[in-house]
Each structure stands twice: as structure tokens, then as C-alpha cells.
């Protein structure tokens, strides 16, 4: 009986669209948020081999295609120009660096997305 209950809870969470951070979002909302970040000049610096970067990308799902991503391996000179201490690092338009994996809520707050 416990397994049936657990399976039901998992199914509800999957249907609700929960992300790994616990944020419940819809795909259109993620598209809009990712596009907003790019429009505001927010950049994520990272690398394909970085597990934390992969987690960050997974948080956005298919919407990550709208995020400005600087790959430190493929765009080494550009990535170095940001002077980031590690990956992933989110660069805000004012030069503020958000280092490490960020929740969607922290990115929204830091970028002013909640204020629009």
C-alpha cells in the first residue's frame, strides 16, 4: 500500500511540472523567463563538462536555448573576460556575479523578473 501511495505522489509531482529546485513552472513561463534574462543582458558562463552547469541547464529544460550561454571551452577568450571564479556563474548587467547553481527563484529575484 505504501508503494501505491508513493507512486501516486511521484505521478502528481511529474504532472505538476516540478523542477529539481521545487519551483513549479510551466514551459511557456520558462521560455518567457529565459528570454527575459537574455533581453536584460544576463549571461551564464559555464562548460559542457561541468555537472553543475548541466544541472542548471536541466532546470530550464528546452527553454535553456533562449539563455545566453558562454561556453568556457569553445569561447575561452570571452569567458575569461568575465573573470569568473568557477562554473556556472551568472553575470548580471551591472557586473554582479552569481556563482554556482542558482534556483529559478534566486535568478528571478536577482534579475528583477518578479518586479515586471
110, 93 in Cβ contact below 8 A? no
Per-residue pLDDT tens digits for 40-50: 999 999 999 99
- The DSSP-derived string for 99-112 is ES---HHHHHHHHT
Per-residue pLDDT tens digits for 41-95: 999 999 999 999 999 999 999 999 999 999 999 999 999 999 999 999 999 999 9
Residue 114 pLDDT: 82
**From CA 114, how far away is CA 9, in angstroms rounded?**
29
Domains, in order of start, for the chain: 26-111 (3.40.30.10)
40, 11 in Cβ contact below 8 A? no
Residue 70 pLDDT: 98
Report residue 1 as a C-alpha cell. 500500500
Pairwise pLDDT comparison (6 vs 66), residue with the higher score: 66
Residue 24 pLDDT: 47
Query: What's the pTM value of the predicted model, to 2 decimals?
Result: 0.75
Please determine, for residue 105, whether its predicted confidence score (pLDDT) is greater than 50. yes
Q: Residues 7-34: what's their mean pLDDT?
A: 56
Q: Which residue has the cell 527553454?
A: 63
pLDDT, averaged across the chain: 84
Amino acid at each position: 500500500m505504501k508503494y501505491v501511495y508513493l507512486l501516486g505522489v511521484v505521478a502528481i509531482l511529474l504532472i505538476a511540472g516540478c523542477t529539481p529546485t521545487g519551483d513549479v513552472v510551466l514551459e511557456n513561463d520558462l521560455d518567457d523567463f529565459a528570454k527575459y534574462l537574455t533581453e536584460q543582458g544576463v549571461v551564464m558562463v559555464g562548460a559542457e563538462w561541468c555537472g553543475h552547469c548541466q544541472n542548471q541547464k536541466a532546470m530550464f529544460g528546452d527553454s535553456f536555448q533562449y539563455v545566453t550561454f558562454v561556453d568556457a571551452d569553445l569561447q575561452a577568450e570571452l569567458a575569461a573576460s568575465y573573470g569568473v571564479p568557477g562554473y556556472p556563474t551568472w553575470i548580471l548587467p551591472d557586473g554582479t556575479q552569481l556563482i554556482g547553481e542558482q534556483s529559478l527563484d534566486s535568478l528571478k529575484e536577482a534579475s528583477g523578473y518578479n518586479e515586471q
